[in-house]
Structure 1
Amino acid sequence: IPCFSDLLTPQELDTIARVTGCAARVSKPSCRTTPNVNKYRTATSVCNNLKSPRLGASNTPFTRWLPAQYDDGVSRPKSWDPNRSFNNFVLPLVREVSNRILATNDASVESDREFTHMVTIFGQWNDHDLTFTPSSPSIRAFSNGLDCDESCERSEPCFPIQIPLNDPRLPTGPDSCIPVFRSAPVCGTGKSAFNFGDMANRREQINALNAFLDLGQVYGSEEGLARDLRDLTNDGGLLRINKEFTDNGREFLPFTDVKGNMCATRRRITNDTNAKEVPCFVAGDVRVDENIALTSIHTMFLREHNRLAGALLRLNPHWDGETLYQEARKIMGAYTQVFVFRDYLPHIVGPDTMARQLGRYPGYNETIDPSIANVFATAAYRFAHLAIQPTLSRLDINNKENPMFPSVPLFKAFFTPWRLVFEGGIDPLIRGLVGHPAKLNTQNHMMVDALREKLFQFINHLALDLGSLNMQRGRDHGLPDYNAWRKFCGLSTPSNLGELAVVLNNTDLAFRLLQLYGTPDNIDVWMGGVAEPFVHKGRVGPLFACLIATQFQKIRQGDRLWYENPGVFTSAQRKALKNVSLAQIICDNTGITAVSRDPFLIPEGGNTPIKCNNIQQLNLSAWKENLPL
């Protein structure tokens, strides 16, 4: 039987591929015509791998380390049919799991004794460099036109979270649910997708960002956005800044020109009907305004780019704006590679996993696929949702509670750029991040109410539950179960209460999980992963330590433009980059005059704040270009 594509000309197939957005799946870019392909990254990271140009590029599929497990084998999520059993048990409602396992009393959360809240928010910042999964572009069901925001019926792409009986916050019944849209499928995957003849492809999801540590959240992961974020009114290689407001003379991010303003939350939060609203900020990642601590880190790195571009211009006055932009961007990309591997990951996966998987740089390997794994993006790297404090601290110059602009409940800090504009800028928040501890994820105090009961309360008609969303998203993406991933990592696969209690080192938690799931084989991988006790000196359990380390191992080895790869930087430049620090970024781009050498560690003992003029700066002399006589 001929395929429909046999009846179309190559030109017609090309047109269909372009108008449906499938071109990135069926066309191969030419790297020979890409300017400076061996010197600078493209925004999308197309042509990082010269033999397989789309490996790790933005708007390509998440990779799978284990095959997807869908209800129908192709596309339909587990629990789409709420009565279907798996391993002889019906899967629990994700909101019921959230209520019975994740709920905590915010007043009694335990704070981390080693790591600051900067570790948590930096993790979110780093995640936004690597992963973003677009939802279905339709807000209505394909078959019957139902509005996914209004209906609780499951009809593609609507995958609402059902509310269990006697829910402590939400009304129950057939018309009570938390709306969820399925993630958009990759072209050619899933039985409902347009697929050029192969109707048996399992559904895959799109990573809208590239897989490399390149600060795409600052610069954008698409060429159009990257260009729009630049200040092209001069030849200084700068990023655009806010033209309406400054932060005590320092730059703010520019405002978005997108119509509609989800950041118009000031009047609702303050109950002041005359309060001035401001638009959302815009950056390389659309989630820049999710909370004001994250926005503050975005703002620091915007300023650092412009500071670097100015310093490079003074060093090399003959450089044009394109060179200044690309060289500053290249240095900034090296910053994040250093910070993540040297400073951040050891605190998360622990020294044993670092030594086993993430030790000395082994060199570039073009056969390694650096693409982000679905399980990393949808489960493992969401561990830090349980390390977020219920309050964002704002401290004054004496590192005391800011009397003018006190600390903010987290649920009142979502999509509130006006707090930075009208409430003291980013300095009080940065002081709070490096001066106060992260929340400690303990098995009896998992997720704070700001995320589980009040998420985006002021921009949605119904506050969301992040824990439920994580599990529902895992089912949407067809992630295999907890035990399948334990086996993948070479770990034990518990089969009963006693064995699960040993893995979790907690009989009560194991019992409660099996009351819900029936068997360890049914546990959602995110739920099982965050329930595990920490590895030695880490902040995740063995499963997530394995998955996170495996992902970063592939990111580093599969990156042709990794800063340690010979030829990317000179030996003198690499030596200079080894000494960069997050403390230096803070000192150079805020009004803060003293900071701990390691902002990820609690400021005490040998890590008490020191004056900024004692913090080593990046020596740019290795970037001076000597012109021929």
Structure 2
Amino acid sequence: HDALRLLKQPRADTRSAVRSADYMAQTLRLLHERVHHVHKRSLNATGQTCHTPQKMCALPWDFSSSVSKHGRLLFGFRNNPRLGASNTPFARWLPSEYDDGISQPKGFNRNRKINNFLLPLVRQVSNNILSTTDAGVVNDTEYTHMVTLFGQWNDHDLTFTPFSPSIRSFSKGINCDESCENTEPCIPIPIPPGDPRLPSGPNSCIPAFRSAPACGTGYSAYNFGGEPNKREQINALTAFLDLGQVYGSEEKLALCLRDLESDAGLLRVNTEFKDNNRELLPFNPLQVNMCATRRRVTNDTNAREVPCFIAGDGRVDENIALTSIHTLFMREHNRLARELKRLNPQWDSETLYQEARKIMGAYTQVFVFRDYLPHIVGPDAMRTQLGRYPGYNPNVDPSIANVFATAAYRFAHLAIQPFLARLDANYREDPRFPSVPLFKAFFTPWRIIFEGGIDPLLRGLIGRPAKLNTQDHMMVDALRERLFQFVMHLALDLGSLNMERGRDHGLAGYNAWRGFCGLSQPRNQQELAQVLNNNDLARRLLQLYGTADNIDIWMGGVAEPFVNGGRVGPLFACLIATQFQRIRQGDRLWHENPGVFTSAQRAALSAASLSKIICDNTGITAVPSDAYSVLSNRNRLVSCTNLRGLNLSAWKETVTSNVVCLFLP
């Protein structure tokens, strides 16, 4: 289980916060259990600890040294001003539902009925509802695989939920990787009878870990006065569309990613390898062997291994398509910085870095709202919730909602193809570097270094369709049966993990969220069949759950038929649109907010496109004008020389002008 745990381990500042919170919460929970058992009456558990236990919790940020005159702080403070900052709890749009009312995951006690029914095993739901073979995959006739991977890329700008830092149970010292016992922080996924891959029984499970608690929540709330409150989880990233996955969300990492010897504000690049004379991401200086997969994948014991890459987000190596997008945006930052230096030779390295970063942040806001979200939530939600920019509202909390991070924005797991296409200059299968089975594309940076670079992968993303999520062909086996197979003792099941994570976070059930969005709440099979437009699926779900009230929110959301023009159902369209509405309105530094950019700069930004960024930073010479839509008579390949791009002349500083960007007080 090392790979997933390493992938979900936070960086230094977040690690300090979650470790303190986790240790405090578990210490107080164990004390509470023993005190309550011995005395059979109410005692304050913190009375048994020292008088200054709050020091165990991580201290507030000292951000005085990180203020940028050019706009955003890396970790989001002084924007609204603390709302949406990194290392703060996820927002709760509905009250949490824990087994013990405080902290235990839903279903932790497997004999406890909820709404008069036992919760089904998540692996059973995955087997019965999600399973599809590669042969059953239906291609999307409208949208490219770039839509799927751009969604993952965007998610890694907004959400990262760190695991509990401990790998052993707090009360018994059991290693969560080696035991199937339900004991904090272990939440193993039991294997049901008749499982297609794994034996059933008390000693058979898929290991899983709890997400770390936010300090002062769950049992650690004893420390802050009286009764415990409900457990919350931490978002290690800012809630803003600011490309934290390029630049990092904390200062030490940001400095590590910069080329501080350059006078041009550049990001650091790989000094050992190039991609057809173009830049690659630097290697991670931490010597972890998670990416040393080449010999196992190729069965070549003499193959050269390479380290993982490093970027602003630790999941950069998760798959090579994602890595290629990371590489593309790193190159675009450096291209912008060099162009800005040519325009403004008087600017120092810090100014060039910050201005390029600011432009890049605007890019992602434009691409997400103009090019991506309309394909996902459909025209109705765009019109009612995400239309014309209404201006900054300091009363809007942009914080990422727990339900968004843990359920709604995981919809695209069902739009992932079982292969990552690699295409040649004619957008045909590359004979030298054929398409890669997805399960052989996890943690394989060596494929980019030794197998043709990022160009074939990017052509594959913009030149081949996404998988279509259909109700009878939901999740490919590469994700359900072979996830991280080459870096783990036991391959994982992403569908089971998604549902288990929702229970770990105490997310309310399907009907409660339907009610939150003003949608009907089906009470029987007939009503659920109407919602799903599928009687057989409704029957199978109710055989498992007993009531629609209990359906795991992620499962219910991805089972719904799409809204018109979108790729999610009404529930997830509501939740995703609501989240992005709040992100935009609660961001004081949103690119359309007056004073952030000049009117000329805003006009220039509207010409930016993902296709043009691909043209400017790769050897690709022809692209679809819309990188998100499949090639068709309306979306033909166009020569890169005919594509309009960002005109940087609006950033040229005249001798008499002051710095044109936003100054913070």
1:126 paired residue number: 154
* Counterpart pick for 2:59 among 2, 6, 23: 23
Contact 2:187 2:210 in 1 (8 A): yes
1:336 paired residue number: 364
Amino acid paired to 2:67: P
1:85 Cα deviation (Å)? 0.7
1:606 paired residue number: 634
1:600 Cα deviation (Å)? 0.2
Number of equivalences: 615
Give the TM-score of the pair, scaled to structure 1: 0.96
Amino acid paired to 1:609: L
Contact 1:69 1:480 in 2 (8 A): yes
- Listed one character per residue, the Cα deviations across residues 224-261 of structure 1 (whole Å, up to 9, x for unaligned) are 11111111012210000001000000010000011221
2:278 paired residue number: 250
1:623 aligns to 2:651 (yes or no): yes
1:35 aligns to 2:63 (yes or no): no
What is the CA–CA distance in structure 1 between the aligned matches of 2:50 and 2:474, rounded to whole Å? 55
Contact 1:186 1:205 in 2 (8 A): yes
1:597 aligns to 2:625 (yes or no): yes
Mean CA deviation greater in 194-203 or 602-611? 194-203
Report the CA distance shift for 1:201/1:22 in structure 2 as closer, same or farther (over 3 A). farther
* Counterpart pick for 2:349 among 312, 318, 321: 321
2:607 paired residue number: 579
Alignment of 1:517-556 (within 5 A): 517-556=545-584
Contact 1:120 1:387 in 2 (8 A): yes
What is the CA–CA distance in structure 2 between the aligned matches of 1:3 and 1:80, rounded to whole Å? 23
Contact 1:185 1:193 in 2 (8 A): no
2:28 paired residue number: none
What is the CA–CA distance in structure 2 between the aligned matches of 1:212 and 1:393, rounded to whole Å? 31
Contact 1:3 1:197 in 2 (8 A): no
- Listed one character per residue, the Cα deviations across residues 558-604 of structure 1 (whole Å, up to 9, x for unaligned) are 00000000000000000000111001110001100000110100011
1:197 Cα deviation (Å)? 3.0
Percent identical across equivalent pairs? 72
Report the CA distance shift for 1:158/1:552 in structure 2 as closer, same or farther (over 3 A). same
1:48 aligns to 2:79 (yes or no): yes
What is the CA–CA distance in structure 1 between the aligned matches of 2:221 and 2:182, rounded to whole Å? 18
For the residue of structure 1 that corresponds to 2:634, the secondary structure is helix
Report the CA distance shift for 1:2/1:162 in structure 2 as closer, same or farther (over 3 A). closer
* Counterpart pick for 1:73 among 101, 111, 121: 101
1:443 aligns to 2:474 (yes or no): no
1:550 Cα deviation (Å)? 0.2
- Listed one character per residue, the Cα deviations across residues 316-374 of structure 1 (whole Å, up to 9, x for unaligned) are 00100100000000000000000000000000000011000000000000111000000
Report the CA distance shift for 1:61/1:5 in structure 2 as closer, same or farther (over 3 A). farther
2:232 paired residue number: 204
C-alpha RMSD of the superposition: 1.7
Amino acid paired to 1:566: P
1:195 Cα deviation (Å)? 3.7
**Structure 1 residue runs without a partner (length 5+):** none
Report the CA distance shift for 1:198/1:213 in structure 2 as closer, same or farther (over 3 A). farther
1:22 Cα deviation (Å)? 2.6
Deviating above 6 A after TM superposition, structure 1's stretches of 4 or more consecutive aligned residues are: 5-9
Contact 1:483 1:521 in 2 (8 A): yes
- Listed one character per residue, the Cα deviations across residues 435-465 of structure 1 (whole Å, up to 9, x for unaligned) are 0000000000000000000000001100000
What is the CA–CA distance in structure 1 between the aligned matches of 2:280 and 2:326, rounded to whole Å? 9
Report the CA distance shift for 1:450/1:195 in structure 2 as closer, same or farther (over 3 A). farther
Contact 1:262 1:415 in 2 (8 A): yes
2:34 paired residue number: none
2:21 paired residue number: none
1:36 Cα deviation (Å)? 3.8
1:621 Cα deviation (Å)? 0.3
Contact 2:398 2:579 in 1 (8 A): yes
What is the CA–CA distance in structure 2 between the aligned matches of 1:192 and 1:166, rounded to whole Å? 41
1:222 aligns to 2:232 (yes or no): no
Amino acid paired to 2:363: Y
For the residue of structure 2 that corresponds to 1:301, the secondary structure is helix
Amino acid paired to 1:477: H
Contact 2:113 2:119 in 1 (8 A): yes
What is the CA–CA distance in structure 2 between the aligned matches of 1:67 and 1:261, rounded to whole Å? 41
**Structure 2 residue runs without a partner (length 5+):** 1-42, 658-665
Alignment of 1:484-523 (within 5 A): 484-523=512-551
